[in-house]
Structure 1
């Protein structure tokens, strides 16, 4: 009976953490979608596309700064949460590493806007977009996820980003106001990050970062960083590539649909994140059993989401954007709709199973091959079929990741 009580308590904690992580994902993905139709209309396709291209570049810097800590640090914190001295040391080691990576990323951005014509044209919009990178670096999601305390920090995160999302409607009034979009988004991330950081200090003592520890955690997370960077080669580079080769207007059209598809992932990301800390402490046999158990429910939910997008694509675009140009590309939205199903399943292996068993190398190999494959495919198909080629490339890559993930899952689980 006592074991049943503790199991129920653990299940309740996982569920509550899922709800809080879902709210954070909502702040990160759903809130921008509230302002999306307004921005598309107010900024018009070209300026909106420019903002989305700058945001896509910021995503790449976020991957560098995060360095895979969303998985490796979360796992380590979940193991150290009862050992305050070790937890404190690890906390400051991770933050020191993030600070170094943030400075490195900003210097890299300065180089890009100094030497590449595409970025030279509007350098400030890329600098302002870097605020997202700073905010993500500061916000200790990995820490609170690891100690399984998401409640208060979630409300702070959502409140700050809601305020700055609403402010867009009062500040961005014409196309020339496009620079205020990255400024306001960045401020939302930075302020919520600072408040989150201050709350985290309540659980740790100060400890001077140790160089040897920084080297160790950097080495352990390197595979994850490479993997996450590869993920963004096929998930976030499309808008950036279209901006280079097809212009900011086409990039804006693609981004407006991609944002809607990415929002469907916000259902699964917090689910896997809330399960991960507990799952990573279990035996291999139990991890395998749990993964198999949730495969069918995930598959069914993915089919439903993809079906809704494919069947209602034109109506959804008209309802949200009220823009004839965007709606005329509804076939793109139908193609991208398949990602809702494919990514739900491939994240089960890539985001949950392999990290839980600490098979970072397997995960890295799958994602690096997929990222390089996608980059080459999108250049080829994008050259011949423009925006349609990019959408097809994205779906094909997601499908191949699913096949590779399922194959290695079965092989690893033998």
Structure 2
């Protein structure tokens, strides 16, 4: 019995070490994803002006929708499938090839959708080159199998490659963008960074599995298993990426640029939770339901306290933060928008605790999908109404309310599902 106990303790320590390493790697990755752009944003706002900067942000919001389509929920389902089969190199290879084949088809379809938009609407055809050049981000994201490295719990690779790519983009922007006429170079350099990281990430992944062509049945199964996750991720985009998109349509590129600048700071704060949840997810998904519930309950107070501290700090120093980061009086004049959005730092951490970690871990994909569809539709419908009366302030209010609703609904279903599992427990 003592030998068995020692083996169990060794395995538990090994798992904790892997989770810690992955958390550190993901934390550094998130830092690169948001700190480096925050160094660039003030520079771009000053050099390009509000109008051209807003156009770039508007194009990025459109590309984010296409990214969701190409990802198709494999960021969750692919991670889970790889994590379960990670000790079977041939099976892992079969899953990997199947997912990449699906992604290739989705990239082709999404590019066709982009061309259709450009050909059908003047809003897109006027600056068609910006939208086409921005599409390189979709290609790069599709190539980089983050879901694969997360599933085999080798997140160091993802961190090194992504940080390298972000540094390339940052250097190119600072050295080669000198005036407003250089605005078209931003999507070129951004796409280049993603494509380079995608290429190297794809090459590195080959050493971790054995190539095996998948059956049509497996491709079909993976596609339909991920469909509800795709709908969920699309719904997430409706209450995240659509904000800049809707504001740009109704209030113009300049105001979209202002909102996007402020939102970038909120997203940087919001995504401090992502490394924790992504590092925990492969391990949590292998635990029994009772242990999953216990983990969620232990994390919740920490997330709430951290979010509260950040929100209070922004409420007190909103103008100072915006002035320090952007040095732009127009952006600073919208500090009330920053104060409204600061509550997202509190709500989003709890929202993701349920919708990013708990529901996928217990494989309640449809519950997650229904919650996020509600949030997405609520956000879009209310934004379309409020933006016409309250412009940028209306968008900020609806975005914050949406995050709060998702927390409340997520908490309700967490209690309901965990109670049901207690009842049916043998």
TM above 0.5, yes or no, is yes
Local SS of the residue matching 1:202: helix
Local SS of the residue matching 1:308: helix
How far apart are 1:294 and its partner, in Å?
Answer: 0.8
How far apart are 1:21 and its partner, in Å?
Answer: 1.3
* CA distance, structure 2, for counterparts of residue 244 and residue 56 of structure 1: 12
Count the aligned residue pairs.
414
* CA distance, structure 1, for counterparts of residue 312 and residue 134 of structure 2: 34
* C-alpha contact (below 8 Å) 2:149/2:157 kept by paired residues: no
Provide TM-score, normalisation by structure 2.
0.96
* CA distance, structure 2, for counterparts of residue 80 and residue 2 of structure 1: 22
* C-alpha contact (below 8 Å) 1:242/1:251 kept by paired residues: yes
Give runs of aligned pairs for residues 171-186 of structure 1, distance below 5 A. 171-186=176-191
Q: Which runs of 5 or more structure 1 residues have no equivalent in the other structure? A: none
How far apart are 1:41 and its partner, in Å?
Answer: 0.5
Tell whether 2:414 aligns with 1:396.
no
* CA distance, structure 1, for counterparts of residue 256 and residue 244 of structure 2: 5
* CA distance, structure 2, for counterparts of residue 307 and residue 177 of structure 1: 39
* CA distance, structure 2, for counterparts of residue 268 and residue 110 of structure 1: 36
* C-alpha contact (below 8 Å) 2:157/2:201 kept by paired residues: no
Deviations 1:85-142 (A, max 9, x none): 1111001000001100011000000001111111111001011111111111111110
Local SS of the residue matching 1:235: coil
Give runs of aligned pairs for residues 321-336 of structure 1, distance below 5 A. 321-336=326-341
Give runs of aligned pairs for residues 161-176 of structure 1, distance below 5 A. 161-176=166-181
* CA distance, structure 2, for counterparts of residue 97 and residue 65 of structure 1: 9
Local SS of the residue matching 2:246: helix
2:303 is aligned to 298
2:24 is aligned to 19
- Name which of 62, 69, 73 aligns with 1:68: 73
- Name which of 149, 158, 169 aligns with 1:144: 149
Deviations 1:126-183 (A, max 9, x none): 1111111111111111001100112233212211211221210111111111111111
Deviations 1:55-75 (A, max 9, x none): 000000000000010100001
Q: Which runs of 5 or more structure 2 residues have no equivalent in the other structure? A: 1-5, 420-426
Q: Over the residues paired in the alignment, what is the CA RMSD in angstroms?
A: 1.0
* CA distance, structure 2, for counterparts of residue 370 and residue 114 of structure 1: 31
2:206 is aligned to 201
Deviations 1:319-355 (A, max 9, x none): 0111011100000000011101100111000000000
- Structure 1 residues 160-169 or 102-111, which shifts more? 160-169
* C-alpha contact (below 8 Å) 1:153/1:199 kept by paired residues: no
- Structure 1 residues 16-25 or 37-46, which shifts more? 16-25
Give runs of aligned pairs for residues 9-408 of structure 1, distance below 5 A. 9-408=14-413
* C-alpha contact (below 8 Å) 1:113/1:119 kept by paired residues: yes
How far apart are 1:205 and its partner, in Å?
Answer: 2.1
How far apart are 1:211 and its partner, in Å?
Answer: 2.4
* C-alpha contact (below 8 Å) 2:97/2:214 kept by paired residues: yes
How far apart are 1:20 and its partner, in Å?
Answer: 0.9
Provide TM-score, normalisation by structure 1.
0.98
* CA distance, structure 2, for counterparts of residue 186 and residue 117 of structure 1: 24
* CA distance, structure 2, for counterparts of residue 5 and residue 215 of structure 1: 39
Local SS of the residue matching 2:286: coil
How far apart are 1:8 and its partner, in Å?
Answer: 2.0
* CA distance, structure 1, for counterparts of residue 29 and residue 100 of structure 2: 21
How far apart are 1:32 and its partner, in Å?
Answer: 1.2
* CA distance, structure 1, for counterparts of residue 34 and residue 72 of structure 2: 21
* CA distance, structure 2, for counterparts of residue 113 and residue 311 of structure 1: 44
* CA distance, structure 1, for counterparts of residue 97 and residue 334 of structure 2: 48
* CA distance, structure 1, for counterparts of residue 308 and residue 197 of structure 2: 35
